[in-house]
Chains A and B, each alone.
Chain A
């Protein structure tokens, strides 16, 4: 048996993938982290005190886990969901009634709620432990953007069921974009961007219009929110998460207790 395992480890395939021995020495453990695309974002060594549950609450890790849950369940939902006014509501009912494991959309929804909660708790923990202080102030800002992206992911996902709750919630929510300075037609400064009686910023070309592809929440808004929800925002979040984890490593690992 030992011989067989050794033979496997000596094959060119094995040696081309793993450039180090078993991670049973400090050197090999370091190499295992450094030579792996995904693990290398993570600190090579973590303080024993830094992984105490009472210190980190594991909220950052749980948030990442929930993001992975959202990615996998969301991908599966995309196989059944069509973002059109005719099909959207029928499809989300169909996902529940006509598909095995009909709780997929509920899992996606609950994980989204959980993710918002864990992001807030993670931020709260980082604040309480003073982990936003130098040299980690850049990473705090990356985290704030990730918080906003999480909220935007929830917001864009809220429209997709295309029921009364969704349409009116997004009608109310997207009205905030009317008040964008200079870019929203009811925002401060918008009235300055006028020439004679001609407004350059009006309901037909302002920030809200760009978001909804129309003056009200219609099919264009459904498609835009779908693309943002499934492609745009997750890509941005994944990129920033890579930076976030990398900076934890670069800024000296998980912060120690005060």
Chain B
């Protein structure tokens, strides 16, 4: 309501000015700021201020994401295929990289040590032939398939391949999930070729 009244008043002001003749509506003098000029400057000022604030906020957000991490790398070499005992779960890379390397008679796969329930680290119980999570009791058989406890899906596998020097190379940037049928994909399994 109040806005409408203001608009009406302005209009009548303009009409009044027109009635009084063009002499009263004069161009701004040199060094004088016109109404339009003032609002343009204000608009530009606010736009700059908003842009600068947004840029600063973005920079501060980016500050929280460091460029260098003192974590073990996502890719690592695990030694030569002949070094692994058949049917064994290799735990050498669990503490540093969070990976079990399982050697089957036909080949290898790299299993993530992150429980698919809530992210704790299960233990490989060789006598029971299963991975058992200490947090909430999820259990997985050697291949990574969940068999007991609250875990909703099998353990994930990481990409496993042979490096140029013949060593096994694990790439944790690519993961394969059984429930999505990804264990059949290239890189989820490394066939053993002596």
B-binding residues in A (CB < 8 A): 168, 171-172, 175, 202, 204-205, 209-210, 213-216, 218
A214–B118 touching, CB < 8 Å? no
Per the bound structure, the CA–CA distance linking A175 and B98 in Å amounts to: 16
Closest residue of chain B to A205, judged by CB?
B65
B120–A168 touching, CB < 8 Å? yes
Closest residue of chain A to B120, judged by CB?
A168
With both chains docked as a complex, state the minimum distance between the C-beta of A173 and any C-beta of chain B, in angstroms. 9
The B interface, classified by DSSP as helix, strand, loop or mixed, is: loop
Cβ contacts under 8 Å, A202 to chain B: 173
Partner of A172, one of B66, B69, B120: B120
Cβ contacts under 8 Å, A213 to chain B: 64, 66
Partner of A214, one of B71, B98, B120: B71
Interface centre among B64, B71, B118, B119 (most CB of A within 10 A): B119
- B112-148, CB < 8 A from A: 118-120, 135
Once A175-B119, A214-B71, A218-B71 are accepted as A-B contacts, the answer to whether A168 and B66 lie under 8 Å apart by CB is: no
- 23 pairs, CB–CB < 8 Å, chain A vs chain B: A168-B120, A168-B135, A171-B118, A171-B119, A171-B120, A172-B118, A172-B119, A172-B135, A175-B118, A202-B173, A204-B69, A205-B65, A209-B65, A210-B64, A210-B65, A213-B64, A213-B66, A214-B71, A215-B69, A215-B71, A216-B71, A216-B98, A218-B71
A214–B69 touching, CB < 8 Å? yes
Cβ contacts under 8 Å, A204 to chain B: 69
Assign chain B's interface to a size class.
Answer: 10 to 19
A-binding residues in B (CB < 8 A): 64-66, 69, 71, 98, 118-120, 135, 173
Per the bound structure, the CA–CA distance linking A209 and B64 in Å amounts to: 9
Per the bound structure, the CA–CA distance linking A249 and B98 in Å amounts to: 55
With both chains docked as a complex, state the minimum distance between the C-beta of B192 and any C-beta of chain A, in angstroms. 28
Per the bound structure, the CA–CA distance linking A172 and B121 in Å amounts to: 10
Cβ contacts under 8 Å, A171 to chain B: 118-120
With both chains docked as a complex, state the minimum distance between the C-beta of B140 and any C-beta of chain A, in angstroms. 17
Per the bound structure, the CA–CA distance linking A210 and B69 in Å amounts to: 12
With both chains docked as a complex, state the minimum distance between the C-beta of B105 and any C-beta of chain A, in angstroms. 33
Cβ contacts under 8 Å, A168 to chain B: 120, 135
Closest residue of chain B to A171, judged by CB?
B119
With both chains docked as a complex, state the minimum distance between the C-beta of B106 and any C-beta of chain A, in angstroms. 29
Per the bound structure, the CA–CA distance linking A210 and B61 in Å amounts to: 9
What 5 A-B pairs have minimum CB-CB distances, sorted nearest first?
Answer: A172-B118, A175-B119, A210-B64, A171-B119, A168-B120
